[in-house]
Amino acid sequence: MSTEAYRRLDRDHHLHPFTDFKALGEEGSRIVTHAEGVYIHDSEGNRILDAMAGLWCVNLGYGREELVEAATVQLRELPYYNNFFKSTHPPAVKLAEALCRLAPAHMNRVFFTGSGSEANDTVLRMVRRYWALEGKPDKQWVIARENAYHGSTVAGLSLGGMAPMHAQGGPLVPKIAHVRQPYWFDEGRDTSPEAFGRECAAALEAKILELGEENVAAFIAEPVQGAGGAIIPPQSYWPAVKEVLARYDILLVMDEVICGFGRLGEWFGSLHYDLKPDLMPIAKGLSSGYLPIGGVLVGDRVADTLIERGGEFFHGFTYSGHPACAAVALKNLELMQAEGIVERVRDDIGPYLAERWATLADHSLVGEVRSLGLIGALELIDPDTGERFDKGLAVGTLCRDICFDLGLVMRSVGDTMIISPPLVISRAEIDELVRLAGAALDETARRLG
């Protein structure tokens, strides 16, 4: 089929996620046809360096035959069976064991889901159920952060703190509150990063006191906020938050959907920040995005109560631990271990990206450059004022579109440009990424006149 034919059918029948349907119908979509390594190809013959690993998920890169083989073998053997009631199957059992071996030592159980959003729905059910079983049924409030993304189901939307999403979501799940995010560049530049990190932790404490500690069940956050803008918190933030949560006996939920599986140079972002979460929702990099699978890793404190006192947990998804998805995830973890992917991010390619990425700080449009492991951001500013551009100019979107035209996928969140490339990216490919990003910045500056 021609590109035009695809575009026509797409416009007429396909409603895309996070898309202005009408505008896309007018502009036409990009038809991605195949991919290998860190590159995607479109129907017009363009080869594009995917510095977002799809949606932060293709950690092992495209075209890994071993993952295709794992899916094929499993689909032949047992394409589907569920884990409800008293059944299970080998891939789910093996994956559960493998995950718990990689997770922090106190996490020995996993509940499978089909996605990160479903994982966060599961989290909400689990934390409220936990406190009810502990004889503290009033502990129902969950505190999350402004500008957080935790998924698109109603629970994910409610836990998330994205104002435009809330505005469209109708009534949200009750008893979810939001506190400020540790986004120093946008919200804290009048003070030092370290003081700002402590201020954010103090805001969390103030919210707990406002709601009443006896009413607060959990705090949920990502180690590094991904979709909000690759927001790396100041060093003071997590130690201070940890202290606050311990003081009031509030569960910690670390959303590892993006940070898990090597993105920050550890198996989980929580390990990078020396955190001991009670629950960790996971997805994306678990299967390198080859098949959809997510889950919640559950720490012993919560698991013991749910197991010993909970009776039947009335919750689950048809595709919880789907055999083919589990088999691919298991193979993905095996390959990551065999190839030392996590260590490579921590000791080699992460530091290399940091060094090369930092060279963009000299560009007149760039107000800040940051990265950790293989996640990074550039903050775009107006060189004349040193402040943000007028929102109406949509400079981030302009820069993103220029990137695409030059052969680079870089995402924009407002005027923050983000990268999160496959963890297998080579040094030469990082050089290319940085060169294309620099060229895109030049072209953006030129078009702004």
User: In whole angstroms, how close is the CB of 160 to ligand PLP at the nearest point?
Assistant: 8
Task: Give the range of 92-100, 210-218, 254-262, 405-413 binding ligand PLP by CB under 6 A.
Answer: 254-262
Among 121, 205, 222, 429, contact with ligand PLP (rule: CB under 6 A): 222
User: In whole angstroms, how close is the CB of 263 to ligand PLP at the nearest point?
Assistant: 11
Residues in 120-139 that interact with ligand PLP by CB under 6 A: 120
User: In whole angstroms, how close is the CB of 296 to ligand PLP at the nearest point?
Assistant: 11
Q: Which is nearer to ligand PLP, 221 or 341 (CB)?
A: 221
Query: What distance in Å separates the CA atoms of residue 199 and residue 240, rounded to the nearest whole number?
Result: 9
Query: What distance in Å separates the CA atoms of residue 43 and residue 56, rounded to the nearest whole number?
Result: 23
116 is a site residue for ligand PLP (CB under 6 A): yes
The single-letter DSSP state of residue 407 is: T
Q: Which is nearer to ligand PLP, 146 or 442 (CB)?
A: 146
Task: Give the range of 112-120, 206-214, 324-332, 348-356 binding ligand PLP by CB under 6 A.
Answer: 112-120
Q: Comparing C-alpha atoms, which of 269, 295, 272 is closest to residue 284?
A: 295
Q: Comparing C-alpha atoms, which of 431, 127, 42 is closest to residue 298?
A: 127
What residue type is assigned to position 123 of the chain? V
Backbone angles phi, psi at 105, to 5 degrees: -55, -30
Residues in 154-213 that interact with ligand PLP by CB under 6 A: 156
Residue 148 burial (C-beta neighbours within 10 Å; 0-12, 13-18, 19+) = buried
150 is a site residue for ligand PLP (CB under 6 A): yes
Scan for tokens 């870089």, then name that residue. 410
258 is a site residue for ligand PLP (CB under 6 A): yes
Q: Which is nearer to ligand PLP, 224 or 395 (CB)?
A: 224
Q: In 339-387, where does DSSP find H-type helix? A: 341-344, 350-358
Among 92, 127, 220, 227, contact with ligand PLP (rule: CB under 6 A): 227
Q: Which is nearer to ligand PLP, 120 or 288 (CB)?
A: 120
Q: Is 22 left (phi over 0), alpha (psi -120 to 50) or beta?
A: alpha
Residue 219 burial (C-beta neighbours within 10 Å; 0-12, 13-18, 19+) = buried
Query: What distance in Å separates the CA atoms of residue 194 and residue 237, rounded to the nearest whole number?
Result: 7
Q: Which is nearer to ligand PLP, 193 or 294 (CB)?
A: 294
Q: Which residues contact 83 (CB under 8 A, 6 or more apart)?
A: 89, 92, 112, 316, 320, 321
In the shown chain, the binding pattern of residues 340 to 379 toward ligand PLP, with x for contact by CB under 6 A and - for none, equals ----------------------------------------
The beta-strand segments (E) located in 180-316 are: 216-221, 251-254, 279-282, 294-299
Q: Which is nearer to ligand PLP, 60 or 402 (CB)?
A: 60
265 is a site residue for ligand PLP (CB under 6 A): no
410 is a site residue for ligand PLP (CB under 6 A): no
117 is a site residue for ligand PLP (CB under 6 A): yes
283 is a site residue for ligand PLP (CB under 6 A): yes
- The first and second tokens of residue 139, run together, are 């502990």
Among 37, 54, 151, 396, contact with ligand PLP (rule: CB under 6 A): 151
226 is a site residue for ligand PLP (CB under 6 A): yes
Residues that bind ligand PLP (CB under 6 A): 55, 115-117, 120, 149-151, 156, 222, 226-227, 255, 257-258, 283, 294
